[in-house]
Amino acid sequence: MASIFTKIIQGEIPCEKIIETDAEIAFLDIMPSASGHTLVIPKLEVMRLEDLPETQAISLMRTLQQVAKAVSTAFDGIDYNLILNNGANAGQEVEHIHFHVLPRAEGSPGPFRKHIQYAEGEMQEVGARIRNCLWWLQFLKIFTRTDADELCRHWNWQ
């Protein structure tokens, strides 16, 4: 079912995008509980985790792992919660499955207990920092492999 996230996927509503793949998109939460609070969603319009075909669930998890690592790296290895509110009674407001990557500093309040506001230009700066970390993590991942086929696939070499 279409939701506000459909408009984000289609580019009708702007977002501070972290990464977009064929099947997923990740972007900063507009009402963050902490700086760097990121949402990772499949492009397929489904509400619940169990509605997602298995191959897409695996793909989502792969992207989630990369994005979470980049968020953590961007904040000096900060801890984080991965949260999926699955259904209204579990706190899901947007009816399109999404994982929250929620950075947690020492002593920070529990998930969703408070919201912060980015200062002017800060959201863009945080987004750029996470994207930069993600780029380097992907670069290092490729280069620490000896798998030449993987390298070729990454750069679309024949």
CB of 66 vs ligand 5GP, minimal distance in Å? 19
Taking the CA atoms of the chain, what radius of gyration do you get in angstroms? 16
Return residues touching ligand 5GP (CB under 6 A).
Answer: 4, 13, 15, 27-31, 39, 85, 91-94
| Residue 33, CA distances (Å) to 91, 116, 158 in order | 15, 6, 44
DSSP state at residue 95: S
Answer yes or no: 98 catalytic. Answer: yes
**Between 78 and 84, whose beta carbon lies closer to ligand 5GP?**
84
Least CB distance to ligand 5GP at residue 62 (A):
21
Kindly tell me the sign of the dihedral angle through the C-alpha atoms of 128, 14, 87, 48: negative
CB nearer to ligand 5GP: pick between 59 and 85 = 85
Number of H helices, E strands in the chain: 4, 5
In the complex, the smallest distance separating the C-beta of residue 96 from ligand 5GP, rounded to whole angstroms, is: 8
Catalytic pick from 98, 100, 115, 154?
98
Residues catalogued as catalytic: 98
